[in-house]
Amino acid sequence: MISVEGVAIDTRHWIGGRRVASDRTFADISPIDESFLGDIAAGTAAEVDAAVAAAREAFPAWAALSAPERGAILRRVADGIDERREDLARVETRDNGSLLRSHRRGVMPRVAMNFRFFADYAEKLAHPDMEIRGHRERVTYDPAGVTAIITPWNAPLMLATWRIGPALAAGNTVVLKPPEWAPLTASLLADIAHEAGLPAGVFNVVQGIGAEAGAALSKHPGINRLSFTGSVPTAGVIAAAAAPTIVPLSFELGGKSPLLVFDDCDLDLAVDLAVEQFDNAGQVCLGAFRILVQESIAAEFQARVVEKARGLVQGDPRDEKTDVSALVSRAHLDRVSGFVDRALADGARAILGGAAPEKGLYYPPTILADAKPGSEILTEEVFGPVLTFQTFADEDEGVRMANDTRFGLAATLVTGSPEKAERVSARLNAGTVWVNCFFVRDLGAPFGGNGKSGIGREGGTYSFDFYCDVKNTVFSPNGWKESSHG
């Protein structure tokens, strides 16, 4: 047991409704000041085996409950999250360095919503019967079994519950492997779920290093679904491990998304959207870090973005005035710094920032111009507070540049023309396109990426298409006995 921001946290796994220790541990370090938070139980194949076994044992009874019965429990979990919102916000801020104000106002309310929304959705989930040559076809959504969920560190609790919510609402049981760089709120969620009456074994948490606990979970023959959020290279390793078991996969992976700014746009709005990409120190997969601006307004737009970005306050994320916090770890700081250093050596020019901090993990907001077409800084995901500026002459060139990426997670465009918005959005290769806005999405809408940005879609019915075995039952009009009553 450790105390973080005055909150007691059990650092053992949660398996089968009880706490389980491991022989080994790993250190959890806060990015705020690189201080030691505690030793966390490090799971291996043994703990994964135990968690999957517990989930499989709990599955029949949980799946047999009706959607309203499961929903009642999941809504109590949501209530528990609301009751502990401040604890969760403070712990996650300390653990991964994200802004406390964002956790309080947006992230933790969304965590609770992930349970309520999918509990409600499961109760309404239905498909109209179909008819062919007098035969009736009925589509139903059957629980699939045990869901393995592996989540990242940039929004650990929100991104975990975005999968846990629909998986449990569908009638599945869950084994969660939280990120080793930010594991603490997953442990608190286990406590909340237990207090809400979630039966033992329905939700399990195995902490550990990805190459050990994550690898064991990915290849486990006892799982029926696997959802992963993270990098493309890690997804390749997971897919290879999962291939022999033919388990269905849902991957949300990286991005190199464009912000396409046309000369007929609301310039104030465009500037605000560009600077918004520094949110969470750029550690956002959906971020539009490639700024593409039409030549006729490029000079003014660039100057205004730099001026506004200079006003961002960087510092301790627990301070309400802070806009940009630290990167999650020393290793990640070195990675981000390496991208920028190589870009500068290759001829790019820093018009803001561009140098690693002398101490701490607070990489400054950085904007690079004049990068060579096709260079690493324009094609690879940095996952830090680094934007690039490029210009385009006309609509066709802008769309071509926006689509010049192996990723396809999101795209944002800013224009004052509804007709242009329709034309351009239709041509953009992205799972989500925002027009004159950013980061707006109903939980019922599909979410996922094209290309190297992922496999599949989740959200609303799309989530249940993945977390369920969708069954079609065909009833003939013939063969019935008149005396039959059952």
Catalytic residue numbers read 252, 285
CB 39 within 8 A of CB 148: no
CA 236, distance to chain mean position in Å, is: 17
Give the separation between CA 276 and CA 271, rounded to whole angstroms: 9
Which helix (H) or strand (E) segment holds residue 414: the answer is strand 410-414
Question: Does residue 131 sit in helix, strand or coil?
Answer: strand
The angle formed by the CA atoms of residues 5, 8 and 9, to the nearest 5 degrees, is 105
Question: Does residue 390 sit in helix, strand or coil?
Answer: strand
Question: Does residue 375 sit in helix, strand or coil?
Answer: coil
| HSE-CB of 259 using CA atoms within 13 angstroms | 26
Question: Does residue 69 sit in helix, strand or coil?
Answer: helix
Q: What is the 3-state secondary structure (H, E, C) of 452-480?
A: CCEECCECCHHHHHHHEEEEEEEECCCCC
Give the separation between CA 151 and CA 297, rounded to whole angstroms: 40
Q: Are strands 173-177 and 146-150 parallel, antiparallel or unpaired?
A: parallel
Give the separation between CA 439 and CA 436, rounded to whole angstroms: 11
What residues have CB less than 8 Å from 298, skipping those under 6 apart? 389, 391
Q: Which two tokens stand for residue 412?
A: 């944002």
Give the separation between CA 64 and CA 66, rounded to whole angstroms: 6
Residue type for position 199:
P
Give the separation between CA 284 and CA 272, rounded to whole angstroms: 17
CB 261 within 8 A of CB 270: yes
Residue type for position 330:
R
Give the separation between CA 189 and CA 185, rounded to whole angstroms: 6
The angle formed by the CA atoms of residues 405, 411 and 413, to the nearest 5 degrees, is 125
